[in-house]
């Protein structure tokens, strides 16, 4: 797997575990606007995970009956509220030191994220040429829109080559999120186009949940050579696992470059799809996420639950 100016495929091999036909059908029918209560519920559960609210309390928070809320949450997040809380709590105690190194080693040996659930899924990533990178998006048209998602509203931008921006709006606001995107691609032409972006967003959120896609989802990235190498390493961290900045530096044969790795992780423009949220401190502490530590914990909890199929009803 390599991100290059010529463009390459990044495929994730998975375990034999796949979504049930029932779950896949539920997601296919899931309306994008139905993500709103899921995002609100996730924020509520993260805020109160040390003293978990009941299903009834959480359902009331989003104005639904418990039974209806259970179905909506499972369809949008991929796991039940109970399993989300279980993995949110477990994540605080489970992040084993040194685990990230073995995870990355295994992924590199497998050629990609072998242990993950990204079964037969593909991202096609194309990096800007050095000349285009220096021009900061000149000649590109970026179509963008606010899109609802399971972790709240997001801002997505895309060129004809693929998704070039994905950020969460909560905590920073739409105006700031839009300004950040335009700051990273200052010479591009911007067109607000929900009709163009909406289908990309639906496929992006499906991919993030480990669903098979009917065709590759394109990414269009810009960065220095070192940043591209770091983002490639992020794509090798399997769903449900984490790595430290030091783990990534060592995987790049630059063991003293942890701070540079941190800067490259922070410069990632495509949240969720290039999973910078899977990088944690060597102490196991979850922080330093561009869109807030609470959102990072929620993402890791959802992914842990998705990567470990339930053995009992939850």
- Beta pairing class for 154-159 and 279-280: unpaired
164 noted as active-site residue: no
Residue 289's contacts (CB-CB under 8 Å, 6 or more residues apart) are 276, 277, 295, 296
Q: Tokens at residue 129, please?
A: 């040429």
- Please identify which of the residues 164, 181, 208, 276 carries the catalytic annotation: 276
To 10 degrees, what angle do helices 66-77 and 81-94 make?
60
8 A C-beta contact, residue 252 and residue 145: no
Q: Are 154 and 161 in contact (CB under 8 A)?
A: no
Structural contact between residues 188 and 137, judged by C-beta atoms closer than 8 angstroms? yes
Q: What share of the chain is helix, strand, coil (3-state, %, to 5)?
A: 45, 15, 40
Residues annotated catalytic, as ranges: 276
């Amino acid at each position: 797997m390599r991100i290059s100016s010529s463009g390459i495929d990044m495929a994730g091999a998975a375990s034999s575990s796949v979504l049930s036909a029932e779950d896949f059908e539920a997601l296919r029918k899931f309306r994008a606007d139905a993500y709103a209560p899921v995002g609100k519920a996730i924020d509520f559960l993260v805020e109160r995970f040390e003293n978990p609210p009941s299903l009834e309390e959480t359902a009331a928070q989003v104005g639904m009956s418990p039974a209806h809320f259970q179905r909506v949450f499972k369809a949008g997040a991929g796991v039940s509220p109970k399993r989300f809380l279980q993995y949110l709590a477990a994540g605080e105690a489970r992040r084993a030191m040194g685990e990230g190194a073995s995870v990355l080693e295994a992924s590199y040996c497998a050629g990609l994220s072998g242990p993950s659930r990204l079964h037969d899924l593909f991202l096609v990533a194309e990096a800007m040429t050095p000349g285009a990178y220096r021009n900061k998006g000149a000649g590109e048209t970026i179509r963008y829109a606010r899109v609802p998602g399971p972790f709240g509203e997001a801002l997505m931008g895309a060129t004809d080559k693929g998704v070039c921006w994905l950020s969460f709006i909560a905590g920073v606001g739409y105006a700031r999120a839009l300004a950040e995107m335009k700051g990273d691609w200052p010479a591009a032409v911007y067109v607000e186009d929900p009709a163009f972006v909406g289908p990309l967003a639906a496929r992006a959120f499906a991919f993030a949940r480990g669903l098979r896609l009917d065709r590759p989802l394109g990414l269009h990235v810009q960065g220095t050579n070192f940043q591209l190498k770091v983002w490639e390493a992020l794509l090798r961290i399997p769903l449900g696992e984490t790595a430290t900045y030091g783990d990534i530096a060592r995987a790049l044969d630059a063991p003293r470059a942890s701070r540079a790795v941190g800067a490259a992780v922070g410069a990632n423009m495509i949240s969720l799809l290039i999973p910078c949220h899977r990088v944690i401190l060597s102490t196991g502490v979850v922080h330093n996420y561009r869109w807030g530590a609470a959102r990072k914990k929620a993402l890791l909890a959802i992914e842990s639950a998705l990567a470990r199929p339930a053995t009992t009803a939850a």
